[in-house]
Structure 1
Amino acid sequence: MSEKKQVHVMRQAIRWGDMDAFGHVNNTVYFRYMESGRIAFLEQAAGDLDIQGQGPVIVTAHCSFIKQLKYPGEIEIRTFAGPAGRSSFDVTHEIRMVNADGRADVVAAEGGGKVVWIDFAAEKSVPLPARLREILPPG
């Protein structure tokens, strides 16, 4: 089994608008939370993303919902990356509830996907940037 490495951690508030009619965070919003963690990691690792040149796309996405999240609250998004392929790598996330003590011990959801680096104009995969490859765990 491939080694995964924690590459980024961030916190954000649960917004009122994240909730649905049932009074909990809507399932689609969890994918936005994971996207926020993934993009923050990629910008930190590879620099500003330029949609006119090369950059990341997600080709698969999944999420397991473990506990409900509700407003008001805060979450911590932990991002993990797998080894680099030529143009892709797997990314996973843990969305954790932050308690009153500021600890994020309870996992509310786990998910992830596959990131592929592409040339946007050519619509073809290209090798991962060296700067990003250096951060990913060895294969």
Structure 2
Amino acid sequence: MSDPQDARPLPFATQEPLRFRDMDPLGHINNSVYSTLLEQNRIAFQDQPGGFREARGQSAVLATQTIDFVREMRWPGTAEVRLGIGRLGRSSIQIHQEISFEGALIARARCTQVLIDDTTRKAVPLSDEQRTMLAPWMVDAQDG
């Protein structure tokens, strides 16, 4: 399986400031903070024009998340978090992300979000409109 992050840069980026409170006793940014940085990036993607939008009565929920830690990160500074869309399923969206700091790759992450109905809490299919919204952000439509 090829890694789309090796092929080209992920197209959506945010700058996420690191906080003093993000450090662990060893002076590293605590590994639990990485999930928050990734979440902030996904929320910013959904909030910006041209990002993914749920239809009324739908929510995108996190089903899986995997983080590969490449090197440590230390306060102070600002992390760059990038995002690209991988494979689209019937009701799922595969998201590739990476965290960089001072020009160095810190972590790679993959997650799957599933679109659900707010009332039934069951998966609902992505609409053609939603697929069109995600198309410009695709990094590897064949990645699985």
TM-score band (shorter)?
0.7 to 0.9
Contact 1:38–1:79 at 8 Å: present in 2 too?
A: yes
Residue 78 of structure 1 aligns with which residue? 82
Asked if 1:46 is matched to 2:61, the reply is no
What is the TM-score with the length of structure 1 in the denominator? 0.82
Question: In the superposition, relative to structure 1, how do residues 95 and 3 fare at CA in structure 2: closer, same or farther (>3 Å)?
Answer: closer
> Secondary structure in 1 aligned to 2:71?
coil
Deviation at 1:70, TM superposition (A): 1.0
- Select the structure that is richer in helix: 2
Letter in 2 for 1:96: S
Asked if 1:132 is matched to 2:130, the reply is yes
Deviation at 1:3, TM superposition (A): 8.4
Question: In the superposition, relative to structure 1, how do residues 64 and 118 fare at CA in structure 2: closer, same or farther (>3 Å)?
Answer: same
> Secondary structure in 2 aligned to 1:30?
helix
Unaligned runs of 5+ in 2: none
What is the TM-score with the length of structure 2 in the denominator? 0.79
Letter in 2 for 1:66: V
Asked if 1:27 is matched to 2:28, the reply is no
Contact 1:57–1:117 at 8 Å: present in 2 too?
A: yes
Asked if 1:112 is matched to 2:110, the reply is yes
- The match for 1:56 among 60, 66, 83 is 60
Asked if 1:66 is matched to 2:70, the reply is yes
How many pairs were matched up? 131
CA RMSD of aligned residues (A): 2.3
Question: What do the CA deviations read for 1:54-104 (whole angstroms, capped 9, x no partner)?
Answer: 11111111111111111101110000111321111211111000x3xxxxx
Deviation at 1:129, TM superposition (A): 4.3
Question: What do the CA deviations read for 1:27-52 (whole angstroms, capped 9, x no partner)?
Answer: 111011111111111223134x69x8
Unaligned runs of 5+ in 1: 100-104
Letter in 2 for 1:109: A
